[in-house]
């Protein structure tokens, strides 16, 4: 396979040749006019997506066909690798959802786009505010044996877990899970500064959707947002839909974490890509509103998002004044590194996976033209 366009990093016209991996990346010495109308970048990576296109990854009964359809919708947004995310629930529901996903990963036509799985809970804060929209009755302390049962159900593909360090069991849990190759992210927490420091010392390396899953009103300082922003060993993910975070916090947080320690996630839920109206996320009733927010039915509390990754890239440029090059880095190399996605941490270079997106950027909008996943063309925009 071959494709041509402007290398987003160097600004030079580039010709890529690839199969499953990139075989060559050569500067075009005699570019044609059409080579300059599109950018080339590594495919986007989403480390936190609960569902998409009407498909809820938290439902154990979903079919392989539904999962495949949800992947195809995401390919149209430039996403090439994702971590389907399972939230707090009963042990049976979590393991059931993981078994369904890992089976589809092995058998669906594009199942390998599901690089691994993110288990967000149930080892989070039980307190209103930090708990977010997670059901209280299933919140529980970290348990390494239960985690191993999750991992058995996922056939070893749980790659990321969100945990609150406020539990006494958290440091030992984090240390054990990281030894077993899992990235631990701090989130949905009311943890103290010392508890956060202990979690980082035990091996936690990320913060989940920082600025969200928190109390509506916080002590000025210290508080668990400042503590995570100040910790240089933590990479933070952000939901940049213009709803979850205000521009002032977003700008400040990105400056605190720096380009290298910031990641875009969608935290999308099943109504993403659907019409406004009522939906169910597992046992939770929600509404997708006209403004694009997903909220608990009849209330104001956010319950995930309807964000697309191509829109997240455009939004962080608009809201935080970031360059296109840096915004795309937050959706490609940074999540590759933070989520330990093999073959996806260097960029458009020989030897890295042929996960490629070709797109235009005009009038502040990202328009995906073509997407390749592992060398296979999985999306092409209509002419």
* Domain interval for residue 61: 43-343
**Residue 327 belongs to some domain of the structure:** yes
In the predicted model, what is the mean pLDDT of residues 346-367? 96
Q: Are 334 and 235 in contact (CB under 8 A)?
A: yes
Give residue 283's pLDDT: 76
Structure confidence by residue, pLDDT tens digits, 215-265: 999 999 999 999 999 999 999 999 999 999 999 999 999 999 999 999 999
pTM over 0.85: yes
Residue 240 main-chain phi, psi, to 5 deg? -105, 75
Tokens 């990346």 sit at which residue? 25
Which tens digits make up the pLDDT trace of 112-159?
999 999 999 999 999 999 999 999 999 999 999 999 999 999 999 999
Q: Give the pLDDT confidence score for residue 284 in this predicted structure.
A: 82
CATH number of the domain encompassing residue 105: 3.20.20.140
Burial 339-349 (b: 16+ CB within 10 A, else e): bbbebbbebbe
pLDDT of residue 280: 86
- Does residue 379 form part of some domain? no
Report how far residue 209's alpha carbon sits from residue 240's, in angstroms, rounded to the nearest whole number. 9
Q: Can you tell me the mean pLDDT for 80-106?
A: 98
Query: Is pLDDT at 299 greater than 90 in this prediction?
Result: no
- CA distances to 121, 130, 139 from 263, rounded to whole Å, are 20, 20, 26
What confidence tier does 36 reach under pLDDT thresholds 50, 70, 90?
Answer: confident
What's the pLDDT band for 30 if we cut at 50, 70, 90?
A: confident
Q: pLDDT at residue 292 above 90? A: yes
Question: What is the mean predicted confidence (pLDDT) over 334-345?
Answer: 96
Asked, for residue 357, whether it belongs to a domain, the answer is no
Instruction: Please state, rounded to an integer, the average pLDDT across all residues of the chain.
Output: 96
In a domain, 372, yes or no: no
Q: Is residue 20 part of a domain?
A: no
Question: Looking at the domain assignment, is residue 140 inside a domain?
Answer: yes
Residue 102 lies in a domain: yes
pLDDT at 225: 98
Does position 98 have pLDDT exceeding 80, yes or no?
A: yes
Overall domain count for the chain: 1
359 falls in which pLDDT band (50, 70, 90)? very high
Whole-angstrom distance, CA of residue 358 vs CA of residue 302: 32
Please indicate, yes or no, if residue 324 is contained in any of the structural domains.
yes
């Amino acid at each position: 396979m071959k494709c041509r366009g402007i290398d987003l990093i160097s600004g030079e016209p580039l010709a890529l040749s690839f199969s499953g991996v990139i075989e060559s990346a050569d500067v075009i010495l005699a570019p044609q006019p059409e080579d300059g109308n599109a950018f080339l970048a590594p495919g986007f990576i989403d480390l936190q997506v609960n569902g998409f296109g009407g498909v809820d990854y938290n439902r154990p009964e979903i079919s392989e066909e539904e999962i495949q359809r949800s992947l195809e919708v995401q390919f149209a947004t430039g996403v090439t690798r994702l971590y389907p995310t399972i939230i707090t629930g009963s042990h049976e529901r979590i393991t059931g959802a993981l078994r369904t996903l890992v089976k589809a990963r092995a058998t669906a036509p594009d199942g390998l786009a599901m690089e691994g799985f993110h288990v967000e809970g149930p080892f989070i804060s039980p307190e209103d505010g930090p708990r977010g929209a997670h059901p209280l009755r299933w919140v529980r302390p970290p348990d390494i044996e239960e985690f191993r049962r999750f991992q058995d159900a996922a056939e070893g593909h749980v790659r990321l877990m969100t945990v609150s360090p406020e539990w006494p069991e958290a440091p030992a849990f984090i240390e054990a899970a990281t030894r077993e190759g899992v990235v631990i992210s701090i989130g949905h927490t009311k943890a103290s500064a010392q508890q956060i420091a202990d979690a980082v010392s035990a091996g936690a390396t990320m913060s989940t959707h920082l600025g969200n899953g928190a109390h509506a009103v916080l002590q000025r300082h210290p508080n668990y947002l400042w503590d995570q922003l100040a910790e240089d060993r933590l990479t933070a993910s952000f939901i940049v839909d213009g709803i979850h975070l205000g521009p002032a916090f977003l700008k400040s947080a990105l400056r605190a974490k720096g380009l290298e320690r910031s990641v875009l996630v969608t935290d999308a839920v099943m109504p993403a890509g659907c019409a406004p109206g009522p939906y169910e996320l597992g046992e939770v009733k929600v509404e997708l509103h006209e403004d694009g927010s997903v909220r608990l039915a009849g209330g104001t509390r956010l319950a995930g998002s309807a964000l697309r990754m191509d829109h997240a890239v455009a939004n962080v440029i608009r809201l935080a004044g970031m360059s296109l090059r840096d915004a795309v880095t937050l959706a490609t190399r940074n999540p590759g590194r933070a989520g330990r996605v093999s073959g996806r941490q260097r960029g458009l270079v020989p030897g890295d996976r042929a996960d490629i997106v070709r797109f235009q950027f005009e009038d502040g909008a990202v328009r995906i033209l073509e997407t390749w996943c592992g060398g296979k063309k999985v999306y092409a925009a209509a002419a």
